[in-house]
Amino acid sequence: MLTIWGRQNSSNVKKVLWCADELGISYEHVVAGGAFGVVKTPEYRAMNPNGLVPCIQDDGFTLWESNAIVRYLCAKHGEGALYPRDLTQRAMADQWMDWATSTFTAPYKDLFLNTVRLPAEQRKKDVAQRGLQACADHLSIVDAALAKKPFLSGSDFGMGDIPLACLIYAWFEMPIQRPALAHLEAWYRRLALRPAYQSRVMTELT
């Protein structure tokens, strides 16, 4: 039995819950992290010494780090679908997964915290503006890639789309001035047709 720990408003937890729903996996979801606590307990730290979410246990196997979890679930339950059999296609999916985390997440976090999550009196407009500009620059790269194929994973939706897609919902829902990126917008519209994306990612911004 698969158990997933994490709070639903965490973009990293959204990756795992969405992925599991896309794959049709049965699982138990334990809300944890942030205001929900749990992550500082000795029991949780024994699973994830970082004290972060998400974390999973799958028939006695424990794993943390959201991208690693998505890869594991897709490899176990979605080979040939969300997890490409072809090595080059899988490498391209890995590339976009890691890019979303290593390149896009930091400026996105600056923008999101100072536009949505922090109390109004704590928000820094200059930090938000720098984050907005950096995100726009980075997303122009994504837009160019999506001009050549409908998904970051290739011709079909796959694991390579999941990390960035969990952030792109907020990009389009935040009260910000976004540049026109037609291919990115079309990708987002395709994602928004997926029931699991609607239920796990397209939720209230908090």
Same domain, 121 and 37: no
Q: Is residue 177 part of a domain?
A: yes
CA separation, residue 59 to residues 3, 201, 203 (Å): 9, 26, 30
- What amino acid occupies position 55? C
Q: What is the pLDDT of residues 112-161, one digit of tens each?
A: 999 999 999 999 999 999 999 999 999 999 999 999 999 999 999 999 99
> Percentage of the chain surpassing pLDDT 70?
100
Nearest alpha carbon to residue 56 among 14, 18, 5, 1: 5
Q: Are residues 37 and 121 in the same domain?
A: no
pLDDT digits (tens, 9 = 90+) for 177-186: 999 999 999 9
| Greatest pairwise CA separation for the chain in angstroms | 50
| Residue 23 lies in domain | 2-77
Question: Which CATH number covers residue 52?
Answer: 3.40.30.10
Enumerate long-range contacts of 71-76, CB under 8 Å, 24 or more apart: 71/97, 71/159, 73/16, 73/19, 73/20, 73/23, 73/25, 74/19, 74/23, 74/158, 74/159
Pair (66, 29) in one structural domain:
yes
Quote the pLDDT of residue 150.
98
Quick check: is 129 in a domain?
yes
Q: Is 200 part of any domain?
A: no
> Domain holding 158: CATH number?
1.20.1050.10
- For residue 165, name the pLDDT band (cuts at 50, 70, 90): very high
Question: Does residue 203 form part of some domain?
Answer: no
The answer on 13 and 36 residing in a single domain is yes
Find, among 97, 127, 93, the residue nearest to 112 by Cα.
127
Residue 73 lies in a domain: yes
Q: Which of 77, 98, 133 is the last residue of a domain?
A: 77
The last residue of one of the domains, among 77, 101, 132, is: 77
Q: pTM of the predicted model, to two decimals?
A: 0.96
204 in a domain, yes or no? Answer: no
Q: Does some domain include residue 165? A: yes
Give the pLDDT band (50/70/90) at residue 81: very high
Of 77, 98, 126, which residue sits at a domain end? 77
Residue 82 maps to a domain: no
Count structural domains, the chain. 2
Q: Give the confidence band of 48 by pLDDT, cuts at 50, 70, 90.
A: very high
100 and 163, same structural domain? Answer: yes
